[in-house]
Structure 1
Amino acid sequence: MAAREAIAAALCRLPDGFYELLYAGRRTSRDGRRLDARAQFIAALIAKTGTPLAEETVAGARAQIEAVAALLGGPAEELASVTDDDIDVGGRNLAIRHYRPKRDAGDGGPCPALLYFHGGGFIRGSLDSHDHLCRSLAARSGADVISVAYRLAPEHRFPAAVDDALAAWTWLVGHAGERGLDPARLAVGGDSSGGNLAAVLCQDIRAAGLAAPVFQLLIYPVTDARFEARSHTTFGDGFVLTAERMRWYRDHYLARPEEMDDPRASPLRATDFGGLPPALVITAGFDPLIDEGEAYAEALAAAGVEIAVRRFDGMVHGFMSMPGAFRDAGAAIDDAAASLRSALVPDRPGG
C-alpha cells in the first residue's frame, strides 16, 4: 500500500469522537437528516483528493473503486471456501466467484444461494471490489453467494450487462444441482448499478416465464436513468457520489437518449410490477439515488409485492462496501443477511 493511501486509510479509521469533535456545530443536515460525522470527513476527503470529473478516465475510475475497497473494506470474514470459475453462457464466458459459508455438520442437502451483481456505475467494479461484501453476506446469511463479473461499459454498452445477468441466472438454475445448490431457494441481489441489474433481471425472468428467484436484495439501486428525482439535486454534490458523476456513468453505459426510458435500463419505468419477488431495499440518507430507490420500493408495494425498506439516514452511497470505516455498514449487512435467512433459510435462528 502506498504511503499516501495508508495515510488516507488511517485518517478514515480514527475514533468516532474525533470526527464528532472536528465537525462540532457544523454537521451537515438536509431533509431533516444529519450526515454521519465520519461520512462528512470522508466525503470532504474524496472531494479534495479525488480526480476532477473533467479529467476522469474509465481506467482511473476503475482503479479508484479497487483502491477504496482495499483501504476501507475491513477484515475478510472466514468461509468454508471461495472459488473462482468461468461459466459458459451462450458461447461466451463469464467469470464468477462462489462463496460457501461454514455450515454445521448436520446441514446436509442442497444449499440456498444468492446471485450477486456488483456496483460501479456499469463501467467499473469487479469480483475483487465487492469481495468483502459478498463474503460477509455469505457468512452471516448461511447462503452461498455467487458473484458475477458481467461485461462493463463502455466496451460493452447497454444491454450487454442486462443480458449477462439473465444468462447468469439461466445458468445458475440449470447447474444448481451439480454445485450443491437448491434451485427452489435462489435469490438475486446487487448494489447501485448491480441493484439495477437485479431489479431488471426479476422483470426479465417474469417476462420470459422462467423459474423466479424467491427474493431480491436491492442495495441503493439505480432505477431511473433519467435522474429526475429531487434527491439528485438535494444530495447531488458533496456526498461521495455526485449527480454529475451519475450522468457520466450513464453516458458511458447508454448509447442513445431514448434508452433512458427502456425498463431494462430504468426498471422504475416499467408498467407492471405485479408478481415480482419479495424485496429488501436498502438506501442511504445522503445519496442522489435515495428517491428512486424508495420510489421503486413504493411501486413494488403498490403492486402487492412484499417489500421492506431500510434507510440509513446518516450514510452516503456505497457505505456497505466500506465496513472498515462505517459502523452502519455492518448493521446494514446484518439486515440484508437476516432478510436472506428469512427468505432462504427459514429454519435457521433469525430466519
Structure 2
Amino acid sequence: MTLHPDMQAMLDRRAALNLPGFAEGTPETARQAFLEAQAALPKDRGAAVRSIRDETVDGPAGPVPVRRYMPQVERPVGQIFYLHGGGWVFGTLDGFDPACRELADASGCEVISIDYRLAPESRFPIPLNDGWAVLSALAEPALPLIVAGDSAGGNLAAGLALRARDEGMPRLALQLLAYPVLDPDLRGESHERYGGGDYLISTEDMRWFWDQYTDPADRNHPYAAPAKSEDLSGLPRTILLVAGCDPLHDEGVRYADRLKAAGVKVTLRDHADMAHGFFTLVDLLEPANAEIRVVGAMIAKALEEEIQPD
C-alpha cells in the first residue's frame, strides 16, 4: 500500500523531530514527545464555532475536565462525546481542539471533549469511568447522543457503547470510531506489514500501551478490549474509520464485520492511503478535513432519521 503524499509528508515532518518511539521510554517521555510534536504544528486550526466553554464534571476519582463546542446553528442536532487518542497515556484537550471544532461545525452537534485520566497512573477502568461520568452528567435527554473517539479514544467510546447497552441507558444513537484500539492480541496482516515503526505507531508501541492501561487480569474484559465481547448485538449504528497503512487496520475491519453479523448498521470507511492518526490532522492534511466533513454530514443525516424515522 502506498501512502498519500501529504500523509507521507506529515510522517516525514514528525520523523525529522527525532522523537523517541513511544515504547522506548517512560510515560513521561511519551507525553513530552506528544507535546513537542504538537508544538511543531501551526496554531489556530479548525472551524469557527459559536462558543467554547471549559468546565468540570464530578467523576468517581475526582473532577473530569471537559471542553464544550457549540456549533453555529440555532440548536444543535445532537451531542457528541469525544474521547481523544494517545494510547491512554497522553493527549490533551488542546491537542484535539481542531478536530473537535471541525466535527462540531460539520455535524451541527455539540461536541464535548473529555479529558479523562491517563494511564498508567489511572488504569482501566478509571478512564472509562471518567467518560461514563461525563456522559451521564451532561447528556441532554431531548438530543440524540453519540460516543466518538480516535485510537485509544475509539477504544473508550466502544467500551462506553457496550456499557450503555448493558445498563440500558443512556440510549445512544451512534458510535463513531476512528482507527480504534480494540484487540490486545495484536494479530493480523496489518501488524505484520505496518507494525515496524514507520507509520507513527508500531506493534511494540501498542503492546506497551496495553501494558500501561490494563492489568493482565483485565485485558480480556469487553469494556477494556471490545473485540473480546462475545455479543455485539444491540449496539448503536456505527461509523468506523480505518487507515490502510496502520497496524490497527485489521482489528477495525474485523470489528465492523462482527457488528454487521450481530445486526448492527455499520458504515466502514477504509482509507487505503492513510496512516494512523490522520483523522485529527485538521488543516494539515486535506483528506482529514474532507473526512470530517463527510462524517459530519453522515452523522447529521443519521440523526435526522433518528428523530424522524421512515
Largest Rg, 1 or 2: 1
After TM superposition, give the deviation of residue 344 of structure 1 in Å: 2.5
Normalising by structure 1, report the TM-score: 0.81
Task: State the Cα deviation string for residues 209-259 of structure 1 (Å, max 9, x = none).
Answer: 212110100000011112122211111021111111111111111122x42
2:79 touches 2:143 (CA, 8 Å); kept in 1? no
Write the distance in 2 (CA, Å) between the matches of 1:170 and 1:98. Answer: 15
Superposed, 1:199-218 pairs within 5 Å as 199-218=158-177
Q: Which of 206, 229, 233 lines up with 2:188 in the alignment?
A: 229
Matched with 2:84 is 118
Matched with 2:55 is 85
Q: Structure 2 regions of 5+ residues with no counterpart?
A: none
Report the number of matched residues.
Answer: 304
Superposed, 1:13-24 pairs within 5 Å as none
Matched with 2:221 is 262
After TM superposition, give the deviation of residue 52 of structure 1 in Å: 4.2
Classify the secondary structure of the residue corresponding to 2:205.
Answer: helix
After TM superposition, give the deviation of residue 98 of structure 1 in Å: 0.4
Write the distance in 2 (CA, Å) between the matches of 1:316 and 1:91. Answer: 34
1:72 touches 1:323 (CA, 8 Å); kept in 2? no
Write the distance in 1 (CA, Å) between the matches of 2:202 and 2:223. Answer: 23
The aligned amino acid for 2:20 is T
Task: State the Cα deviation string for residues 54-75 of structure 1 (Å, max 9, x = none).
Answer: 6423223223323434506762
**Is 1:300 the equivalent of 2:266?**
no
Identical columns (%): 36
Superposed, 1:99-110 pairs within 5 Å as 99-103=69-73, 107-108=74-75
Q: Runs in 1 of length 4+ with deviation above 6 angstroms?
A: none
Q: Which of 118, 127, 131 lines up with 1:152 in the alignment?
A: 118
Distance 1:324 1:61, change over 3 A: farther
After TM superposition, give the deviation of residue 267 of structure 1 in Å: 0.3
1:191 touches 1:220 (CA, 8 Å); kept in 2? yes
Normalising by structure 2, report the TM-score: 0.91
Q: Structure 1 regions of 5+ residues with no counterpart?
A: 1-32, 177-181
Matched with 1:35 is 3
**Is 1:64 the equivalent of 2:33?**
yes
1:224 touches 1:260 (CA, 8 Å); kept in 2? no
The aligned amino acid for 2:7 is A
Classify the secondary structure of the residue corresponding to 2:78.
Answer: strand
Classify the secondary structure of the residue corresponding to 1:217.
Answer: strand
Provide the aligned C-alpha RMSD in A: 2.1
Matched with 2:292 is 333
After TM superposition, give the deviation of residue 51 of structure 1 in Å: 1.3
